[in-house]
A and B are shown apart, each in its own frame.
Chain A
Amino acid sequence: MKRVLVANRGEIAVRIIRACRQLGLETVAIYSEADADLLHVRLADKAVKVGPSHPGQSYLRGDVIVQIALSTGADAIHPGYGFLAENAQFARMCQEENIIFIGPSEQIISKLGDKVYGRGIATTAGVPVVAGSGDDNVSEADVHALGQSAGYPVLLKAAAGGGGRGMRIVREPNQVKAELEDARREALASFGSDVILAEQFLERIRHVEVQILGDHHGNVMHVGTRDCTVQRRYQKVLEEGPANAISDELRSRIEDDAVRLVSKLHYVGAGTVEFVVDLERNTHHFIEMNTRIQVEHPVTEMLSGLDLVREQLWVADPANELSFTQQQVQVRGAAIELRINAEDPDRNFQPMPGRITALTLPGGPGVRIDTHCQVGTLISPFYDSMIAKLIVHDRDRPSAISRAIAALEEMKIDGVTTNIEFLQRVLRHEDFQHNDISTRWLEHQREELMPVLETAGR
């Protein structure tokens, strides 16, 4: 591997180019019409315009990107996250042209993209999933059996429903009959089908994920956990690590389960195994596995001192083994990542593209900024609205929170509306500071976290 084409843009393209440079690998950047002036274009050894601004005509054109790799003599492609990162067809296209796709094989990507397969492999590996009836219609006896084995409450949902409609929660065995009858009648009336599915209802959950790395020699290691419980409509707002809302014992059980699951897969590269932890039952359940480097990977890098992107590049070569052993992985202190976006929290977090006219970034010990932005950078309406990722590290969670607040206070961005003040309110909130939150916390705190709308001057 000598020359890597970076099939992405923005901060992650910059991040990948930096890792390549350190390993002595040449880089080829691609850019769309809108991105000609971005930092990744200037940092790469060579840059090729891939197409017009619209992602469908540029960063998602796998055929054009592979053609550019062939024509520029790149022998590997790093997809970053988003765009083509989990596109099995793109991975196959690379494979067919003898280009190393930096990630797992096409087969693994397509298998893990299927939730049923994921559940199956987790069950085979002895990793708990959310117990349920799968796609089968349930009988009264089935619901009783599920309630007995997995515990109440049990969620009943119409197979044809969606978006929360047609759902009922059964809290006691003696409610099963009535709730199931009502659910069926309702489902038939609303959706024309009386097929009802059941699963254990996880009321208060945290999102905990495990960073995994694997190589061609069958080594699979974990680099600890991250907690992404602060979400807004399944969008992560901030990520922290390690997942210290749960006991050390449960955390290490989750890490071991993730390694056991991935060890069944011949998995090469970086990946993330996602779990939910039920705070009432103190149980963990496998949800899915992401086969890419994630936005929040710097949290793990700050905690462990490892360079995950460099490790990805390193193990992409079949000759190389992971550069560390599981015993050498040490997670120290606490880290928090904040996604600084050009968006308006007052307007339902609507993206607010525009040109950055002034930029002051925080610094000091334990503060890291990953960004492609400079004064003059246009946050384009064509792509996601992320301006920067601020990652802080300190000896423990309370110190990391103070460091994050101080860093956000130092950060000044003019020209675009940002979510900086909103993030400060999240960090200062009592529930967040006490780590007493679940995935629905942010939605419930909306009013408290949203600023009062100013009637004048807007």
Chain B
Amino acid sequence: MNSTESMTFQEVEAILRIIDATPHGGQVDITLGGMNLKVSKEISSNGKSDVAPGTPVQSISAVAPVEVSEPAAAAESEAQNAVAATAPAAEGVTVIEAPMTGVFYRQPTPDAEPFVVVGQHVNEGDVVAIVEVMKLMNRLSSPVSGTVSAIRGNNEQLVEHGQVLFEITADEESK
């Protein structure tokens, strides 16, 4: 008999909602039968989640990386990588990921100057690039004020959802 308990989509969603609503950070690790759900949530010193809700580059709000996987060891390392990629204020580097799969443009029109170049200072909310999906231009803006330290997307090429496009070294005071 291969009957094993596991979580349904609705149950996972309910768990995420509960965690999202709590003011505490930390890790939750639930194992039910063959399924392992690991959720980590980071809270910065000002009491707000480090993953700023509402920024155009984040599709998941306060709950950071979610790994539904097994074995647990693999989930551990994956989860840590994901945390490192989203918001490590400690190192001062914020990454901007592609919010959707589409074509990456560094400038507003083909002949225009790029929105930003490496070494340039940007303010929070400044447009840094466009991701096009079938003639619909989605503008990407910087979630922080800081200096562009790397541009990882290739101009006019396809970029995938979640791919890192920019690294921004945040200003001292904005940490």
Contacts and interface: CB of A to CB of B under 8 A. Distances in A.
Interface of A: 33, 48-52, 57, 61, 63-64, 66-68, 71-72, 93, 344, 350-355, 357, 378, 381-382, 412-418, 420, 458
A344 to B, nearest CB: 8
A335 to B, nearest CB: 26
B7 to A, nearest CB: 7
A418 B1 CA distance: 9
A355 B34 contact: yes
Given A355-B70, A357-B34, A414 B161 contact: no
> Which 3 residue pairs are nearest across A and B when measured between Cβ atoms?
A381-B9, A354-B6, A49-B160
Interface stretch (B21-29, B45-53, B88-96, B129-137): B129-137
A48 B158 contact: yes
B34 A354 contact: yes
Contacts of A414: 2, 4, 34
A63 B101 contact: no
B130 to A, nearest CB: 13
B35 interface: yes
A66 B134 contact: yes
Interface of B: 2-4, 6-9, 12, 33-35, 59, 68-70, 100-103, 132-134, 136, 157-158, 160-163
A48 B163 CA distance: 11
A63 B2 contact: no
Given A378-B69, A416-B2, A418-B2, A51 B133 contact: no
Nearest to A71: B158
Nearest to B136: A63
A412 B2 contact: yes
* Main SS class of interface, B: loop
Contacts of B102: 64, 67
Contacts of B163: 49
A50 B9 contact: no
B17 to A, nearest CB: 15
A67 B34 contact: no
A67 B131 CA distance: 11
Contacts of A420: 2
A411 to B, nearest CB: 10
Given A355-B34, A414-B4, A416-B4, 7 more contacts: A50-B161, A67-B102, A67-B132, A71-B158, A351-B9, A355-B35, A416-B34
Nearest to A47: B160
B9 A49 contact: no
Nearest to B8: A381
11 contacts: A50-B101, A51-B101, A63-B133, A63-B136, A64-B133, A355-B35, A355-B69, A381-B7, A381-B8, A414-B4, A414-B34
A381 B3 CA distance: 17
Nearest to B132: A67
Given A357-B34, A381-B8, A414-B2, A51 B103 contact: no
Nearest to B36: A355
A198 B86 CA distance: 61
Contacts of B3: 344, 417, 458
B161 A417 contact: no
Nearest to A357: B34
A72 B157 CA distance: 10
Contacts of B12: 381
B91 to A, nearest CB: 25
Contacts of B33: 354
Contact of A417 (B4, B7, B9, B158): B4
B7 A67 contact: no
A450 B158 CA distance: 51
Contacts of B103: 67, 71
